Amino acid sequence: MDLSSLTIAAARKALDAKDFSSLELTNAYVQNIAARDKEIHAYLEVWEDSARAEAKAADERIAKGDAKPLTGIPLAIKDNILIKGRVASSASKILENYRASYDATVITKLKEQGAVFLGRTNMDEFAMGSSTENSAFGPTRNPADTSRVPGGSSGGSAAAVSGSMALAALGSDTGGSIRQPASHCGIVGLKTTYGSVSRFGLMPMGSSLDQIGPLTRTVEDARILFDAIRGNDTYDSTSLPDYPLKEKGKVVGVPRAFMKEGVDDGVKSVFEKTLEALVKGGYEVRDVDMPNLPYALPVYYIICPAEVSTNLARYDGIRYGLSSPADTIHEVYTKTRGIGFGPEVRRRILIGTFVLSSGYADAYYRKARDVRNLIRADFERAFDSVDAIALPTAPGPAFKIGEKTNDPLAMYLEDIFSVTPNLAGVPAISVPAGSVERDDKELPVGFQLVGPMRGEGTLFTIAKDIEKSR
């Protein structure tokens, strides 16, 4: 069994043909995790016993001829997605021992299909970050070069897949946290249309931006996992009605004016080569004017912290996880939060509280909300004339561990191309497109495609063409 090239689609065929059992497949992953994860640290916890039991149950189901697309498929789950009875910590000290009391809707769906859960993966604390260095439990290393970050915040999920320690994984994406680590680890990552996948049981970061989505080795696998987890859910008030996947035409727009500065030369050349391959494949590539994109990053770093500051108010030392004893209730709150939250989380709560405070909300939060609407309108206008928009996923390849930890603005700039789809609610995919060489190592580089609302079908088609052209 060659785990380094195995896909969900291939494993499905092999399982159904009884070439190997889910138990054998699961054991292979558990062994690989034991061999590699001391160095990589993709997982915060591995559930080998329950994974084996789930695999055995899947094998029985396969024997009965009752297999679904994900029956017996070993997956890794980001640590901010609830699984009943399991610790879910969001890689935070404040939730280190918190156990989920119910299943997230995506987990219910995967359980119904008989998927195997290998463990929970490392992440930036509460999904705030772009490198997985903000985990309270130590960073994850990039399997392509272990002196570098895997990206973030779903860096554990991305490293688990690229390091052959899971067949696929779930992550969450608020401003790039699936796509950017997918790009840095050389795999596919999909940020789904806002409302297409239920957020019920996902720990909220920025509720108007968050989506759960797949990290996989191929575009086909991303589609399989997306199909398994999507669907209308009455437990999520922002859930969309179910929709069929449609493919549209072959016109790709490039907002050139937005890409003039700050992009690594190697990343630029991978981007241009990919556009050339698209043209050779019969696509039309056209410049699009999206004048408000330069405001996306500052708008994101107002709206996201604003929502973070409200969402994280629930961690008060009473309702969930850590509680630090003190003489007054107010002291319990402040002590628990002071001990439980790391520096980036505190920074965002401070920024968020400030931009929402009376006297400043008009100047910051409401202004940002208005500009967000302009960004949305930019996308709507662009999609009148093109079927998808192309951007780099991140401005550079994976950076060194520690390189940006003391410079929050440099870290935020990592998200310049990934935050806009979340602000607009539209879907976006990162697909491996090439690599750049650094210190004698080939570092993967992703290519990002953004689609209109409910436009995943188009993204899959174009991304597959990019996969084929390589």
Binding site for ligand GLN (CB under 6 A): 127-130, 153, 173-177, 205, 304, 415
- Phi then psi dihedrals of residue 370, to 5 deg: -65, -45
Active site residue 198: no
Instruction: Please identify, using beta-carbon distances, which residue of 23 and 205 lies nearer to ligand GLN.
Output: 205
Which one-letter amino acid corresponds to residue 66? D
Q: How many angstroms separate the CA atoms of 12 and 10, rounded? A: 5
For the CB of residue 154, give the shortest distance to ligand GLN in the complex, in Å.
8
Instruction: Please identify, using beta-carbon distances, which residue of 153 and 274 lies nearer to ligand GLN.
Output: 153
For the CB of residue 308, give the shortest distance to ligand GLN in the complex, in Å.
9
Q: How many angstroms separate the CA atoms of 203 and 89, rounded? A: 9
Instruction: Please identify, using beta-carbon distances, which residue of 27 and 130 lies nearer to ligand GLN.
Output: 130
Instruction: Please identify, using beta-carbon distances, which residue of 181 and 340 lies nearer to ligand GLN.
Output: 181
Instruction: Please identify, using beta-carbon distances, which residue of 22 and 140 lies nearer to ligand GLN.
Output: 140
Per annotation, catalytic residue among 21, 78, 130, 183 = 78
Instruction: Please identify, using beta-carbon distances, which residue of 79 and 173 lies nearer to ligand GLN.
Output: 173
Q: Provide the token pair at 285.
A: 């590539």
Per annotation, catalytic residue among 89, 90, 92, 153 = 153
Q: Provide the token pair at 419.
A: 């935050």
Instruction: Please identify, using beta-carbon distances, which residue of 82 and 127 lies nearer to ligand GLN.
Output: 127
Per annotation, catalytic residue among 89, 157, 164, 177 = 177
For the CB of residue 403, give the shortest distance to ligand GLN in the complex, in Å.
15
Q: How far apart are the first and last CA of the chain?
A: 24
Q: How many angstroms separate the CA atoms of 264 and 362, rounded? A: 36
Q: How many angstroms separate the CA atoms of 401 and 133, rounded? A: 8
What are the strands, taking DSSP E only, across 293-360?
none
For the CB of residue 343, give the shortest distance to ligand GLN in the complex, in Å.
13
For the CB of residue 36, give the shortest distance to ligand GLN in the complex, in Å.
25
Active site residue 153: yes
For the CB of residue 267, give the shortest distance to ligand GLN in the complex, in Å.
17
Ranked by CB distance to ligand GLN, the top (closest) residue is 177
- Can you tell me whether residue 470 is helix, strand or coil? coil
- Can you tell me whether residue 124 is helix, strand or coil? coil
Sequence-ordered list of residues with C-beta below 8 angstroms from that of 98, at least 6 positions apart, any chain: 87, 88, 89, 320, 321
Find, among 161, 170, 163, the residue nearest to 81 by Cα.
Answer: 170
What are the strands, taking DSSP E only, across 138-282?
168-173, 188-191, 211-216, 251-254
Q: How many angstroms separate the CA atoms of 166 and 189, rounded? A: 14
Sequence-ordered list of residues with C-beta below 8 angstroms from that of 293, at least 6 positions apart, any chain: 255, 258, 375, 378, 420
- Can you tell me whether residue 390 is helix, strand or coil? strand
For the CB of residue 402, give the shortest distance to ligand GLN in the complex, in Å.
17
99-124 CB burial, b ≥16 within 10 A, e <16: ebeebbbbbbbbeebbbbbbbbbbbb
For the CB of residue 76, give the shortest distance to ligand GLN in the complex, in Å.
17
Taking a C-beta distance cutoff of 8 angstroms, is the pair 196, 230 a contact? Answer: yes
Instruction: Please identify, using beta-carbon distances, which residue of 103 and 173 lies nearer to ligand GLN.
Output: 173
- Phi then psi dihedrals of residue 449, to 5 deg: -120, 130
Active site residue 177: yes
Residues forming the active site: 78, 153, 177
